[in-house]
A = this chain, B = another copy of it.
Amino acid sequence: QKDADSIRAEAAIASQTNLAKVKAFPINAAKKITVAGYTQVRYQALEETGKIDGFDIRRARVDLKGTFSPYWGYRLQFDLAGTPKLIDAYAELKLNDYFNFTIGQAKIPFSLENLASSTKLELIDRSQAVEALVARGKDVGGNQNGRDIGILLGGTILKLKDRPVIDYRLGVYNGAGINTVDNNEGKDIAARLIVHPVVGLDISAAYYDGSRFVPEVKTGTVVTTPSKTVNRDRFGLDLSYDLKNFSLRSEYISGKDDQTEREGYYVLGGYYFFQKKVQLVAKYDFYDTDKSKPDNASTWYVLGANYNFNANTKLQFNYSIKQEEGTSIDNNFANVQLQIGF
């Protein structure tokens, strides 16, 4: 019955699978390693003129992780969607609860939503301010997947009854993004302080002091604007609260790119139903791309429903109502995303 589809041409996959069943060997390594992976298949329906509805493979990740000794850990994650690229490549050195180093390419310690795995997000897309200010798709430095190359020191500052109450992160980074070398001598600094007043509640403040290299502009062979290094600073506050079926997330992020000041914030609430099979979510998401100018902010109202088939398979529906300051355009959109992984 399982072979119902087994015409010869299409049986290739099945026969390989069967072969694997008949005689299978565990794949070995010299150290204890786990592999995880997931794929997100998305369909977007966009109201805006000129934007194309359609399917895409949004992420197709493979993730290798291992704890090699009481001190050393390792992670290597790559994404095969679109143009394949390395996402994470770092060593972890865990001295104790208070001092831990992450060395290599990894997430910068900034923004709740940035630090959350995309597999765990309540909504399909991250918020406007996170996309624009935290080394993601709309940041001046291009999409770095919220990551950079450098060294992060982190740990607990204060414990009460063995429960961490205050944690910290302190990082130094190239600031030039992932999968490349640095392009200026200045290094970026990131700092983050996390307070856990009660179980389930996390409140954080973070600061990022960066510099960005802007290459020279030429007209023909004449340098019309010389290269320069400009500010790329960020400040953020975020809050995360989980109580039984209820979830609350909120962030405020401000940024300064050269002379331009930007800011945004969001509030997201979610509630689980039917033994956590279904989650309904709503988000208010505001972002102002230049505080000194009028009519360039936008407010998004996002409604979402998640269905968890099982621990590894999830279907997400989102509808986003997008409102622009000044002249509004028809640009609402609906999203459906199927996520499956192991």
A32 CB contacts on chain B under 8 angstroms? 25, 28
Residue contact A74 to B340, C-beta cutoff 8 Å = yes
A36 adjacent to chain B (CB < 8 Å): yes
In the complex the two chains form, is A30's CB within 8 Å of B19's CB? yes
Does A297 count as interface, using CB distance less than 8 angstroms? no
Inside 8 A of A27's CB, which chain B residues have their CB? 26-29, 33-35
Cβ–Cβ contact A183 & B52, under 8 A = yes
Q: How far is the CA of A91 from the CA of B71 in the complex (A)?
A: 37
* Contact across chains for B7 and A167 when beta carbons are under 8 A apart: yes
Instruction: Decide: A7 and B240 in contact? CB cutoff 8 A.
Output: yes
Segment of A78-86, A260-268, A269-277 engaged in the interface with chain B: A78-86
CB <8 Å contact, B36 and A20: yes
| Chain B nearest CB, measured from A216 CB (Å) | 13
**In the complex, A142 has a CB within 8 A of chain B:** no
- A211 to chain B: which residues have CB within 8 Å? none
Q: In the bound complex, how far is the Cα of B82 from the Cα of A149, in angstroms?
A: 12
Say whether A196 faces chain B, with CB atoms less than 8 Å apart.
yes
Contact status A28-B35, CB under 8 Å: yes
* A124 vs chain B, min Cβ distance (A): 15
Asked whether A312 lies within 8 Å of B68 as measured between CB atoms, the reply is yes
**Of B66, B89, B312, the contact of A60 (CB 8 Å cutoff):** B89
B120 touches A19 (CB 8 A): no
> Interface centre among A12, A19, A27, A81, by most B CB within 10 Å?
A27
User: Which stretch of A99-107, A287-295, A298-306 is in the interface?
Assistant: A99-107
CB within 8 Å of B: which A36-59 residues = 36-37, 39, 41, 52-57
Do the beta carbons of B181 and A56 come within 8 Å of each other? Answer: yes
Residues A5 and B89 in contact, CB atoms below 8 Å apart? no
CA distance A41 to B173 in the complex (A): 13
Q: Tell me which residues across on chain B come within 8 A of A164, comparing CB atoms.
A: 3-6
Cβ-defined partner of A39 (8 Å) among B85, B91, B204: B91
Nearest residue (CB) in B for A149 is: B55
User: CB of A221 within 8 A of chain B?
Assistant: no
Interface residue? A323 (CB, 8 A) = no
Question: Which residues on B sit within 8 Å (CB–CB) of A238?
Answer: 9
Chain B residues, Cβ within 8 Å of A187: 54
5 A-B pairs with the lowest CB-CB distances in the bound complex, closest first: A54-B182, A12-B117, A31-B342, A26-B26, A24-B28
